[in-house]
Amino acid sequence: METVRFDELELAPQILRGIQEMGFEEATPIQAQAIPVVMSGVDVIGQAQTGTGKTAAFGIPVLHKVDPSSKKTQVLILSPTRELAIQVADELRKLSKYMHGVRVLPVYGGQDISRQIKALKGGVQVIIGTPGRLMDHLRRKTIRPDHVNTIVLDEADEMLNMGFREDIETVLEYLPGEHQTVLFSATMPKPILEITRKYQHDAVNIKVVKKELTVKNIDQYYYDVKRKDKTEVLTRLLEMYNPKLSLVFCNTKRMVDELSSELTTRGYSAEGLHGDMKQAQRDRVMKNFRSGKTDILIATDVAARGIDVDDVEAVFNYDLPQDDEYYVHRIGRTGRAGRTGKAFTFIKGKEVYKLKDIQRYCKTKILAQPIPSSDDVAQIRTEKIMNQIENIIEEEDLRDMIDLIERQVNESDYTAMDIAAAFLKQALGQAEGAGSAEEGDSYDFDNTGAEEGMVRLFINIGKKQRVKPGDILGAIAGESGMPGKLVGAIDMFDKYTFVEVPREYGREVLEGMKNVKIKGKSVNIEPANQK
């Protein structure tokens, strides 16, 4: 799905101005494909779903062909209903707002024909009409077909459904030999193909059908999360559900970079993907993700276009998508091939209204969920481990292991229950990552006198050693992998320094700084002790 700007389509500046004023930013896929082809003058069969901008897809190139200096009728557009004819006329008027001398008129049944005849008298180059009424005008010669060079059958399937086939053919028979015939429709039933065969020559087929993006097999949840807590909640959900592959969406390239470095720092195998990266780099990231070498891919919507990986078990909307359709595209990456996927969306406060729109758009339910506590995480992990254990008991040969445990039970005071419990604790501890208390030193972060959420660290180096705050900051950022901007207050004294870092990074900073030299001097760093 490549995006095309209207200014890439070689349109006249007056039309571009009209388009701009309508607020269209980029061409829809059917517009991007159809505009150049229709403009080239050949016959076209265009198919795209309702609401994809088919009107402008033929309207723009057709207007481009109109000669404003001639008052003769040059374009006929057939439309199934009065409402649609008026709608198309409105859109073409807006598009041609800056094309001086171009007149656009809808004609339809049910409106007093003499009024229409009066309106036609001044010379109208573009006429949009229901088939019956157009036929009527052609018969009365109140519309003359001699200079018509383009005819458009819009919403052709609708027109046939309404029984206009004969009227359409009658109108087509009125036209002079040389003209371009363009047909647009959401669907292409057989009778349409018969018409195209009869009335078009070497027509070019343009078909844009959206891949059916289903949200059926996807459990969807949302969490009301403060901005600063998003990463923490994300990691808890990752721990809880332990998805094989996860896709995390952010709205900006910067956020992608930030989050991938945050997750990597926390020991996850994550990589970012965005438009600023070189193609080779992107290919490498995708290859790693596809092969499972990285389990978490963090991407922007644009970069994620075309990603087609089957084993994505969870999609996270770290940022709420800016467009309802993006939501479907994003979460459609999971729940493939009959599997069940999960989609988690983070919102903050008022964004819940946008979520309502999304639910209406996708005809789906997104359920509110409380933010999981660390107890919830442990419980889910336990269940998961127990399930695995059950499988092992049922399916594997455990005789040697049972012998070993038996010996342990006989030689010690422990029961088999004690040993099983210890194994479970170990399994859970590992699952909670390197930061668990079983590994390395334990630190007291509760009495450092730091502000809420931070820890205050003591470093035995200060102004006397001609150390500057920047040196401390640099050392911390460089050694621990924690982004330097997360470093809080730095208080320097003659012989020592206090520095605050977010609590969740406390351990990493302490471990990382163990063998660091600042200004050539080995330093000792430990949690400050308020008491």
Contact residues for ligand ADP, defined by CB under 6 A: 24, 27-28, 31, 48, 50-56, 91
Calpha distance 392→385 (Å, rounded): 10
Q: What are the residues whose beta carbons fall under 8 Å from the beta carbon of 492, sequence distance 6 or more?
A: 462, 463, 467, 469, 472
Contact by Cβ (8 Å): 366, 358:
yes
Give the nearest distance from C-beta 21 to ligand ADP in angstroms.
12
Residue 56 binding partner per list Mg ion, ligand ADP, none, with a CB distance cut-off of 5 to 8 Å that depends on partner kind: ligand ADP
Residue 520 binding partner per list ligand ADP, Mg ion, none, with a CB distance cut-off of 5 to 8 Å that depends on partner kind: none
Contact by Cβ (8 Å): 441, 508:
no
Calpha distance 107→129 (Å, rounded): 5
Residue 246 binding partner per list Mg ion, ligand ADP, none, with a CB distance cut-off of 5 to 8 Å that depends on partner kind: none
Give the nearest distance from C-beta 327 to Mg ion in angstroms.
25
Residue 157 binding partner per list Mg ion, ligand ADP, none, with a CB distance cut-off of 5 to 8 Å that depends on partner kind: none
Residue placing its CB nearer to ligand ADP in the complex, 54 or 64: 54
Give the nearest distance from C-beta 26 to ligand ADP in angstroms.
6
Contact by Cβ (8 Å): 299, 188:
no
Give the nearest distance from C-beta 56 to ligand ADP in angstroms.
5
Cβ-count burial 80-93 (b if 16+ within 10 Å, e if not) = bebebbeebbebbb
Give the nearest distance from C-beta 118 to Mg ion in angstroms.
28
Calpha distance 319→316 (Å, rounded): 8
Residue 491, helix vs strand vs coil: strand
Residue 27 binding partner per list ligand ADP, Mg ion, none, with a CB distance cut-off of 5 to 8 Å that depends on partner kind: ligand ADP
Contact by Cβ (8 Å): 453, 488:
no
Give the nearest distance from C-beta 184 to ligand ADP in angstroms.
7
Give the nearest distance from C-beta 254 to ligand ADP in angstroms.
27
Residue placing its CB nearer to Mg ion in the complex, 11 or 30: 30
Residue placing its CB nearer to Mg ion in the complex, 80 or 332: 80
Residue placing its CB nearer to ligand ADP in the complex, 89 or 510: 89
List the beta strands (DSSP E) in 179-325: 180-185, 204-208, 218-224, 245-249, 270-273, 296-299, 312-317
- Closest residue (Cβ) to Mg ion? 54
Give the nearest distance from C-beta 38 to ligand ADP in angstroms.
14
Q: What separation in angstroms does the CA of 529 have from each of 158, 441, 462, 497? A: 78, 16, 18, 13
Instruction: Report the alpha-carbon angle 311-264-489, nearest 5.
Output: 145
Residue placing its CB nearer to ligand ADP in the complex, 24 or 414: 24
Per-residue tokens: 61: 């190139």
CB burial of residue 252 (10 Å; 0-12, 13-18, 19+): exposed
Residue 24 binding partner per list Mg ion, ligand ADP, none, with a CB distance cut-off of 5 to 8 Å that depends on partner kind: ligand ADP
Residue 241 binding partner per list ligand ADP, Mg ion, none, with a CB distance cut-off of 5 to 8 Å that depends on partner kind: none
Cβ-count burial 487-499 (b if 16+ within 10 Å, e if not) = beebebeeebbbb
List residues binding Mg ion (CB under 5 A). 54
Nearest Cα to 29, choosing from 12, 61, 51?
Answer: 51
Contact by Cβ (8 Å): 151, 181:
yes
How far does the chain reach from its first CA to its final CA, in angstroms?
62
Residue placing its CB nearer to Mg ion in the complex, 54 or 329: 54
Residue placing its CB nearer to ligand ADP in the complex, 24 or 98: 24
- Rg (alpha carbons) of the chain, rounded to whole number: 34
Residue placing its CB nearer to Mg ion in the complex, 58 or 498: 58
Give the nearest distance from C-beta 49 to ligand ADP in angstroms.
7
Give the nearest distance from C-beta 25 to ligand ADP in angstroms.
6
Q: What are the residues whose beta carbons fall under 8 Å from the beta carbon of 392, sequence distance 6 or more?
A: 398
Residue 51 binding partner per list Mg ion, ligand ADP, none, with a CB distance cut-off of 5 to 8 Å that depends on partner kind: ligand ADP
Residue placing its CB nearer to ligand ADP in the complex, 56 or 513: 56
Nearest Cα to 123, choosing from 142, 110, 99?
Answer: 142
Residue placing its CB nearer to ligand ADP in the complex, 48 or 124: 48
